[in-house]
Structure 1
Amino acid sequence: METVSQSAGATDAPEVRPCPECGTEVTAHASYVTWCAACDWNVDPGAPDPERGRLAKVRRRLAARYGEQLAEEIGRDGSGTGRVGPGGSTVLAFGLALLVHGVTAGLFLAAVVLIIGGWHTGIQPVLGVVLLVAVAVLMPRPGRAPSGPVVLYRADAPELFGLIDEVGAAVGTTGVHAVVVDASPNAWVSAYGYRGRRVMCLGLGLWEILTPQERVALLGHELGHFANGDIRSSFLMNGALRSLAEWHAVLVPVHRGTLMDWFMHAVTFLPRWTVYGLIRLLDGLTLRASQRAEYLADTGAARAGSGGAAVTLLDRLLVATAVEAHLRRESMAVARAGGGPGGREVREAAERELWERLAARIVSVPESEYERLRRVSARRGHSVDDTHPPTHLRRRCLASADPQPALVVCDGPRAQAVAAELAPARAEMARQVIRDHAG
């Protein structure tokens, strides 16, 4: 998606000029796309989003369809936002997931029989070991313990964890056991270990461009996933979907035009399309419930941080590619200057100022650019990933809801205390971002 300027240092004094299509006066910024809000001239001058694989494209279309249906229900009478019990599709989905895991269990039993019962043959134990390797890849397993450049626990950042706890209480759940900090313009939550301990990832590329209340809304959205649940993130369903994805990756043929390739294509045709059909079926049975969970998480963002903060949080997601581009430019500028006089001083200054410069860059984005990105989002069906509802539909639902005050306020002193706890992580991530390109 075309986003904000490619030149962070360009002079951006706006000027007024007529639209070449309808003659309406438009404001042109040197650093942003010039477009017309009256007739949408030049609103989307960039190349279309790149085509994805077959499964990703199908999931994206299905997510858009269910997202539109749920958005209409929410806008019409407020339905679709409450917790619902398991329906027939959910029961069937879990039945299919059990079937997938049953195949994995069958492979394990076959491997044991081949190894023990056929030990004297020589070849059967080898086949059994091959099946055990397949079982090790396919079997469901709990998430791994948090890992990353920076992992914080409660003793490391009591103010941050206290804020997370308060937001969790506001959305009807508890906090997390660990926080992973990285440089991405993203955030997510997950569970790890057999005890289901909770972990949250805060990407500084997103965190640093948000206001304190938008950060509260972000925490509310992520913790809302724990409060409301998501069938696709359950241990059983997630494991089944992962197993099917592994099977599909193995069975997709490599076309090099050789006779062996054609033979393998023919041999794998039936199992490949069987796996593909199962994935499509599970997507059809679970994506609507997953979409509902996403809308519910958005309501958690509004409840915790305020309706207005939840809306502007979604706007920030539209400039995620601009965040990545800015960080690349900063690190590459240091790489170019690194070999010259004062290279070390340049790098240290870039590391100290990286996040402040990023925040200032995003703050400078005019409202007209956000409006353009919202229109592009609606045209292209922008979403966070292939299973999320389109971002413009999520924003529309939040913007059309009754105004909602914040249940959790992150004022100046509290925001400063949280920032002080994250200061070492910010410094480490700045060094990593600069080091990735500066060498």
Structure 2
Amino acid sequence: MTSAAEQITQACPECGARIEGDRRFTLWCAACEWNVDPAKPEPERGRVDRARRALARAYGEKLLGEVAQGGVLPARRDTSAVLAYALALAVHAVTAVLLVTGVWCLVRGWGGVGMVAGAILLAMAVALRPRFARLPDDRPVLRRADAPELFALVDDVARSVGTRTVDAIVVDDEVNASVSTYGLRGRRRLTIGLPLWEILTPQERVALLGHELGHYGNGDTRHGVVVGTALQSLGQWRYYFAPIPNPSGVQILVNLVYVVPRLFVHGVLMLLDQLTLRTAQRAEYLADREAARAGSTDAAVGLMDRLLIADSAVTALRREANQAALRGHRAAQRAEARAEELWDRLAAHMASVPGHEYERLRRVGARRGHSVDSTHPPTHLRRACLLRGPAVPAAVTADADREGRIAGELAAARAEVARGIVRDGYQG
């Protein structure tokens, strides 16, 4: 993986301005924006997806306007959040009714008819029950004893944003990070994607932790147990009522019977999604504020820029995996050595991304309303929000000694994740 710039200079075919660029990246004109967005945006999947994207962008711009006018975006449960909570409870109530009715039918019997009906209702209740996440068994999971210095850093960040720390840290190969809960007791889990972690500066890593931990206390109902499990249950309901493909005979009748319940479930799912959308977007802005508080405004802005070019990291890792696959048996023999070097090559590649590529992607984001998904405000708006008002200093600093100790604690996970990328390929 080369990190050397491949400079190119030419005149813009539209306005004639001088363009200086890098052959590895899109050549474009900053003066007239010729070729700034040569790739066509991915088409949305139907009218519902288009509507969600448009609404998400409108919410993001409205929330940014509130900040620009001096608003502080307090973490609160507004009317939509309360309605979402009530609707989620109603979803769980349906599951409870199925369970109770199924038991009642089994007890009553009714000459065998009740036994059959009860068994069916109980099976439905079990299938549609709220599911609580578990820790994965196919990825490295770190406990406090495994990585005391990393947990100490997370503890410091948690105190700076005013929340409780995590109970486990999962390491995977995503260019991302997230928080969630697991188990009946609602223990906290932080997931760190090593490809993202490895391309961040120490302070940007602190900002990343501040952003993720900030989600625990900013009113994001989607991260809560009640609404989160209701969304999962509705998704399961929709799966069961999905039409049978290429139906024949009785299957055609089944599809017809499923139409009404399928539309009803889809409508409830969309309603719950819309009720939580604004809260989810506000939560992202609030989490960005916690990122700046923990790691500094400059670090939080740098994190936004890194997220903006995340696709470049994905492309680089896919190239690594493809090169290993082409080498065949030799690649398997050298997998260990290549895994040890993978993160250094990735960091070198990302460090070589020129400033004009960042600027191009910011302009593309402004055109498209770039975001991770509809629950996130467009990335360029999040960056603009961070730059509003005076810069905030870091509450938590990561010195070189601490970074060295954390790197040692992550060494085994780094090697395991890198081996998986080189050996098994990378989907991103």
TM bin (shorter chain):
over 0.9
**Aligned counterparts of 1:300 and 1:147: Cα–Cα separation in 2:** 31
Which residue in 1 is equivalent to 2:408?
Answer: 420
Which residue in 1 is equivalent to 2:86?
Answer: 95
Using the TM superposition, name which of 102-111 and 219-228 deviates more. 102-111
| Contact 1:338–1:346 (CA under 8 A) maintained in structure 2 | no
Residue 167 in structure 1 maps to residue 149 in structure 2: no
* Paired residues for 1:426-437 under 5 Å: 426-437=414-425
1:63-92 C-alpha deviation (Å, 9 max, x unpaired) = 222111111111121332x232x3333322
How far apart are residue 356 of structure 1 and its match?
0.6
Compute the RMSD of aligned alpha carbons. Answer: 2.1
Q: Helix, strand or coil for the counterpart of 2:410?
A: helix
2:64 to 47, 56, 71: 71
| AA aligned opposite 1:83 | A
* Paired residues for 1:343-362 under 5 Å: 343=331, 346-362=334-350
Which residue in 1 is equivalent to 2:194?
Answer: 204
Which residue in 1 is equivalent to 2:280?
Answer: 290
Q: Count residues with an aligned counterpart.
A: 426
Residue 185 in structure 1 maps to residue 175 in structure 2: yes
Using the TM superposition, name which of 104-113 and 246-255 deviates more. 246-255
Label 1:103 to 1:344 Cα distance change in 2 as closer, same or farther (>3 A).
closer
2:358 to 359, 364, 370: 370
| Contact 2:214–2:291 (CA under 8 A) maintained in structure 1 | yes
| AA aligned opposite 2:386 | L
| Contact 1:148–1:181 (CA under 8 A) maintained in structure 2 | no
| Contact 1:170–1:407 (CA under 8 A) maintained in structure 2 | yes
* Paired residues for 1:255-334 under 5 Å: 255-256=245-246, 258=248, 262-334=252-324
| Contact 2:158–2:164 (CA under 8 A) maintained in structure 1 | yes
TM-score by length of 1: 0.91
- Note the residue ranges of structure 2 that are not aligned, 5 or more in a row: none
Which residue in 2 is equivalent to 1:3?
Answer: none
| Contact 2:308–2:361 (CA under 8 A) maintained in structure 1 | yes
How far apart are residue 146 of structure 1 and its match?
4.9
How far apart are residue 194 of structure 1 and its match?
2.3
**Aligned counterparts of 2:4 and 2:410: Cα–Cα separation in 1:** 33
How far apart are residue 255 of structure 1 and its match?
4.9
| Contact 1:59–1:283 (CA under 8 A) maintained in structure 2 | no
Which residue in 1 is equivalent to 2:24?
Answer: 31
How far apart are residue 336 of structure 1 and its match?
2.0
**Aligned counterparts of 1:389 and 1:424: Cα–Cα separation in 2:** 35
How far apart are residue 57 of structure 1 and its match?
4.0
| Contact 1:337–1:346 (CA under 8 A) maintained in structure 2 | no
Which residue in 1 is equivalent to 2:377?
Answer: 389
How far apart are residue 420 of structure 1 and its match?
1.1
Which residue in 1 is equivalent to 2:75?
Answer: 83
1:110-150 C-alpha deviation (Å, 9 max, x unpaired) = 211332222632x5433432322221222224332354421
Using the TM superposition, name which of 198-207 and 43-52 deviates more. 43-52
How far apart are residue 344 of structure 1 and its match?
5.3
- Note the residue ranges of structure 1 that are not aligned, 5 or more in a row: 1-7
Using the TM superposition, name which of 399-408 and 164-173 deviates more. 399-408
Identity over aligned pairs, percent? 51
How far apart are residue 54 of structure 1 and its match?
5.6
Q: Helix, strand or coil for the counterpart of 1:195?
A: coil
Q: Helix, strand or coil for the counterpart of 1:385?
A: coil
| AA aligned opposite 1:376 | V
1:381-404 C-alpha deviation (Å, 9 max, x unpaired) = 221223111111111101233211
TM-score by length of 2: 0.93
Residue 401 in structure 1 maps to residue 393 in structure 2: no
Which residue in 2 is equivalent to 1:139?
Answer: 129
**Aligned counterparts of 1:233 and 1:145: Cα–Cα separation in 2:** 16
Q: Helix, strand or coil for the counterpart of 1:168?
A: helix
2:116 to 110, 122, 126: 126
Q: Helix, strand or coil for the counterpart of 2:133?
A: coil
| Contact 2:332–2:423 (CA under 8 A) maintained in structure 1 | no
Using the TM superposition, name which of 177-186 and 380-389 deviates more. 380-389
Using the TM superposition, name which of 172-181 and 238-247 deviates more. 238-247
1:280-300 C-alpha deviation (Å, 9 max, x unpaired) = 222232211121111100000
**Aligned counterparts of 1:265 and 1:381: Cα–Cα separation in 2:** 38
| Contact 2:84–2:272 (CA under 8 A) maintained in structure 1 | yes
| AA aligned opposite 2:269 | I
| Contact 1:140–1:235 (CA under 8 A) maintained in structure 2 | no
How far apart are residue 334 of structure 1 and its match?
1.9
Which residue in 2 is equivalent to 1:176?
Answer: 166
**Aligned counterparts of 1:288 and 1:364: Cα–Cα separation in 2:** 37
**Aligned counterparts of 2:79 and 2:41: Cα–Cα separation in 1:** 38
1:37-63 C-alpha deviation (Å, 9 max, x unpaired) = 111111111132243366544433322
